[in-house]
Amino acid sequence: MRPLRLGTRRSRLAMAQSGQVAEQVRERTGRPVELVEITTYGDVSREHLTQIGGTGVFVSALRDALLAGEIDLAVHSLKDLPTAQPDELALAAVPVREDPRDALIARDDLTFERLAALGGVRVGTGSPRRMAQLNAWARSLGCEITTVPIRGNVDTRIGYVRDGELDAVVLATAGLRRIGRESEITELLPADAVLPAPGQGALAIECAASDADLTALLAGLDDPHTRIAVTAERTLLAALEAGCSAPVAALADLRDEGQKATVMRLRGAVGTIDGSSLVQLSTTGSVAASVEEALSNARAMGRALADEMLAKGAAGLMGERAL
């Protein structure tokens, strides 16, 4: 039996999460799965993500390989996917989401509030979204921090703290857990202070839309709650017409209320990188027990919250429009 070819980026994190998906696919299909390493433009460019387009820079090469028939499926970090789904590709599964929160790795095991109170501290992150909210949080505490744009893999970023170049870095909790570096975390940043990126902590499994059999098999890995939540978040992002490197944050939480309905709270934020202006709003509503109806409700909530945020001036704070 021919192995299924699973395309993945070459980074340690990408290989780890793709390996986990490969094992699930093996269990689900009974077929062997081999990882095919693919280098994306985002992996080789040393420029900041906002300078190289942000949206899709870690995705395009994998999608090209799918369309060329070089691989059978691809695994992405969902937060890297452009919000528009190509007709030729199926988003076959969104597995159970890992913790979506951001994590602080700081010198001397300091929390963010204790660190900020010291004054003059340097916090590294590659995300304008994190910069905006970290700076706003520091301002709310009567403190100022310097956010430093950084690139590189997890080891490189943590190394900035261990070597004393930076006082702290902020990374996704999900990635640290997937590569076994959770013990490095100083503090899990509360979502009330720092909302994650839309789709953060979730993975996306794509295959060719024309491969109906594989699409159906992979659908068994889909987690409805995760898909509903990230659909609301990504609809908000799309309605704001922002790319994945814009300072837009979103998080949807679902809570079951019996068999007939689930309550979802959707929070969104957008701000200037220096934290001087921040629009942060939320909405709560019921989503139907039927997955298709729930997805429709999730999209409606995402669009409605985006409209409220735009009415509050969000468009002028993003700094980047979708390309």
Could you report the per-residue pLDDT of 33-71, keeping only the tens digit for each?
999 999 865 555 455 444 434 456 679 999 999 999 999
Q: Distance between CA 73 and CA 90 in Å, rounded?
A: 10
From residue 272, how far is each of 133, 209, 262, 275, 287 by CA, in Å?
9, 39, 34, 5, 32
Catalytic residues: 79-80, 129-130, 151, 157, 244
pTM: 0.90
Helix-then-strand count for the chain, H and E: 10, 13
pLDDT of residue 187: 98
pLDDT of residue 321: 37
Half-sphere exposure of 76 (CA within 13 A, CB side): 27
Instruction: Give CA angle at 59 (58, 63), nearest 5°.
Output: 150
Q: What is the mean pLDDT of the chain?
A: 90
Give the model's confidence band at 258: pLDDT under 50 very low, under 70 low, under 90 confident, else very high: low
**Mean pLDDT on 79-86:** 92
Task: Give residue-wise pLDDT tens across range 273-289.
Answer: 999 999 999 999 988 76
- pLDDT above 90 as % of the chain: 80
Sign of CA dihedral 157, 57, 196, 222: negative
Q: All domains of the chain, ordered by start, with CATH?
A: 1-95+202-222 (3.40.190.10), 102-188 (3.40.190.10), 223-323 (3.30.160.40)
Question: Which of the 8 DSSP states describes residue 81?
Answer: S
